[in-house]
């Protein structure tokens, strides 16, 4: 990648959002241009064709994670998907005395919606600690779980520490006490193979823009029987069966949860991104990123002032601090070197408090990353240390 001036640009912020391949950009451009029409309403040919393409996109996105199209709801992103579950399944099923189990490393999007539901329903929240290397401590979670727990909500891959959850074990533990389990797959779907059927999880959420797709769209996958029992969240067009002033009846899931005109071009781009990732091979992507993580941790570990966080085998993410240098200052100096990282609390303030730090610097990789990006990062850190010395 290059800057607007033509210089090499080292993009190490893919955990925030991935750069888009041409196949995705072209798919969105076609959907907004020669192919454009509304969906589900028009009787004319182009509308019917776009409706077919939109529903085919649902099928392709669901297939990426081993799901079926009738189990997948398009949302504005993973954040909305979690809120949808909280405001529908949560309101219908949680009562005073019920408990929700989260982990210490969750993104705010997998904390705040459950706090809102806690305050609305009277349910309580428990927090699972981490292992010394920064993974969700499933031994501790198993000891904490009780029949009072109705929901477990864990990240598949931490957006700060990069640790990969043993999803199958987490699901078995939740189901053993009768709880449902939601997995936040935002950082996982572009990095590791996902099979919701094999996992047997109840809900799985993810966003397109971290998967090399467009912003403004994501997905909720849920078991069909759960979606079928969940009440609608928003009202409007498309999510209805019949409307009278006396009463309204609802469309079946997943349409019940997609009120209004959907993000049509974005859904087409989402499917293009899913095809792109499948063509590259998630196993190959994970191996590529794992090799970069290993190399980056080795190079950064040689710098005495650097403190690394997270497990050695993190999935595509390396978080660190530099003694005497705030991550924001590091990010600013690295930007002068055409190196883009993320610096801050990464929407994980409870984790930062537990680590007793205000923020970290985060370098995150993707399939377009290579050794030159690591070399540029190290050069930028060495320059930063000279400046602050």
Q: Which residues are catalytic?
A: 347
**Rounded alpha-carbon distances, angstroms, from residue 309 to 63, 110, 318:** 34, 21, 7
Nearby residues of 366 by Cβ (< 8 Å), 6 or more positions away: 11, 14, 18, 19, 190, 212, 289, 316
For the chain, list the strands marked E by DSSP. Answer: 10-11, 72-75, 99-103, 124-128, 149-155, 180-184, 203-207, 218-222, 240-243, 248-250, 306-309, 317-322, 339-340, 342-344, 360-364
Separation of alpha carbons 239 and 237, rounded Å: 6
Q: Are 10 and 292 in contact (CB under 8 A)?
A: no
Separation of alpha carbons 340 and 362, rounded Å: 10
C-alpha angle 53/58/59, rounded to 5°?
A: 95
**Rounded alpha-carbon distances, angstroms, from residue 270 to 143, 192, 205, 332, 369:** 39, 17, 14, 32, 21
**Rounded alpha-carbon distances, angstroms, from residue 18 to 46, 207, 209, 227, 317:** 31, 11, 6, 30, 13
Separation of alpha carbons 342 and 146, rounded Å: 38
Separation of alpha carbons 155 and 183, rounded Å: 6
């Amino acid at each position: 990648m290059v800057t607007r001036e033509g210089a090499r640009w080292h993009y190490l912020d893919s955990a925030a959002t991935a750069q888009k391949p041409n196949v995705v950009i072209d798919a969105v451009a076609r959907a907004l241009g020669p192919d454009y029409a509304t969906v589900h309403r028009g009787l004319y040919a182009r509308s019917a064709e776009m409706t077919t393409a939109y529903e085919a996109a649902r099928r392709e996105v669901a297939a990426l994670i081993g799901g079926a199209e009738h189990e997948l709801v398009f949302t504005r992103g993973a954040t909305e998907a979690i809120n949808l579950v909280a405001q529908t399944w949560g309101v219908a099923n949680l009562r005073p005395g019920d408990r929700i189990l989260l982990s210490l490393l969750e993104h705010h999007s997998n904390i705040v919606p459950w706090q809102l539901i806690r305050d609305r329903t009277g349910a309580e929240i428990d927090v699972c600690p981490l292992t010394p290397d920064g993974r969700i401590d499933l031994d501790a979670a198993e000891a904490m779980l009780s029949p009072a727990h109705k929901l477990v909500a864990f990240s598949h891959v931490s957006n700060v520490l990069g640790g990969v959850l043993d999803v199958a074990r987490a699901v078995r533990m939740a189901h053993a006490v009768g709880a449902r389990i939601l997995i936040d797959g935002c950082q996982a779907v572009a990095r590791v193979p996902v099979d919701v059927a094999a996992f047997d999880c109840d809900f799985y959420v993810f966003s397109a823009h971290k998967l090399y797709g467009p912003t403004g769209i994501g997905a909720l996958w849920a078991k069909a029987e759960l979606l079928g029992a969940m009440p609608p969240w928003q009202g409007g067009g498309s999510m209805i069966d019949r409307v009278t002033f006396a009463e309204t009846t609802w469309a079946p899931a997943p349409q019940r949860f997609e009120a209004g005109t959907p993000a049509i071009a974005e859904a087409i781009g989402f499917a293009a991104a899913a095809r792109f990732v499948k063509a590259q091979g998630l196993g190959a992507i994970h191996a590529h990123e794992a090799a970069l993580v290993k190399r980056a941790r080795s190079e950064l570990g040689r710098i005495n002032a650097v403190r690394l966080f997270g497990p050695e085998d993190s999935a595509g993410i390396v978080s660190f601090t530099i003694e005497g240098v705030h991550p924001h200052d590091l990010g600013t100096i690295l930007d002068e070197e055409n190196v883009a990282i993320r610096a801050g609390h990464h929407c994980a303030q409870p984790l930062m408090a537990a680590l007793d730090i205000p923020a970290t610097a985060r370098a995150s990789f993707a399939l377009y990353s290579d050794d030159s990006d690591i070399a540029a990062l190290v050069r930028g850190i060495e320059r930063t240390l000279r400046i602050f010395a």
